[in-house]
């Protein structure tokens, strides 16, 4: 069967990055996870338009694409806030009180883990272990790891985020 390459969903340059990734894999189905990584890195999340494009480009059944996208914690189908705060809930962090840090952040931000503030400024997430156990408890603010966090420090840091927004 001749492979028909679907048109990019829009002239947005970011699609070119996604397309380049798929091309590197010869548009084969096993590129699915790498492609979803590329989409999420470019757009921040996986929306339906993107998933449908991936379905057509890689010739993978839609239910499989959706199944993969929802199997892995790293992928998100919803847009994230301007800032992200990821609390590590690995064992070392847990032993050193990460749950208290998380609870304090949840209280301060008024959202639960996995949610985004209504003003779209902050997404709060948790992660299994980022391997920063020696400096537990660890929190990742906008991609930067901070170690030995106390509840107060974390809340202080987030105030900056929520404040900047205003």
**Which residues bind to another protein, rule: CB under 8 A?**
29-34, 36-37, 48, 51-52, 55, 60-68, 70-75, 89-96, 127-136, 138, 144-147
Question: From the CB of 118, what's the least distance to another protein, in Å?
Answer: 24
Integer angstrom CA distances of residue 97 from 51, 126, 136: 38, 14, 9
Smallest separation, CB 71 to another protein (Å): 4
**Nearest-CA neighbor of 150 among 135, 129, 128?**
135
Closer by beta carbon to another protein, 91 or else 164: 91
CB of 48 to another protein, least distance (A): 6
What the block records as the tokens of 106 is 């949840």
Run of H or E including 144: strand 144-146
Tokens (6 digits) for 104: 């304090």
Name the residue nearer to another protein (CB basis): 36 or 105. 36
Query: What distance lies between CA 166 and its chain's CA centroid?
Result: 24
Comparison of 70 and 120: residue with beta carbon closer to another protein = 70
């Amino acid at each position: 069967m001749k492979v028909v390459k679907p048109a990019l969903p829009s002239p947005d340059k970011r699609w070119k990055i996604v397309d380049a990734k798929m091309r590197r894999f010869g548009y084969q189905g096993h590129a699915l996870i790498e492609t979803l990584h590329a989409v999420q890195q470019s757009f921040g999340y996986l929306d339906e338009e993107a998933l449908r494009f991936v379905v057509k480009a890689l010739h993978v059944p839609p239910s499989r694409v959706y199944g993969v996208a929802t199997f892995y914690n790293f992928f998100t189908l919803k847009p994230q806030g301007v800032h992200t705060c990821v609390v590590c809930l690995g064992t070392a962090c847990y032993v050193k009180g990460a749950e208290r840090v998380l609870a304090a952040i949840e209280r301060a931000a008024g959202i639960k883990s996995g949610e985004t503030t209504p003003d779209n400024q902050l997404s709060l997430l948790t992660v299994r272990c980022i391997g920063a156990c020696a400096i537990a408890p660890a929190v990742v603010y906008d991609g930067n790891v901070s170690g030995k966090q106390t509840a107060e420090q974390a809340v202080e840091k987030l105030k900056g985020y929520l404040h900047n927004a205003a």
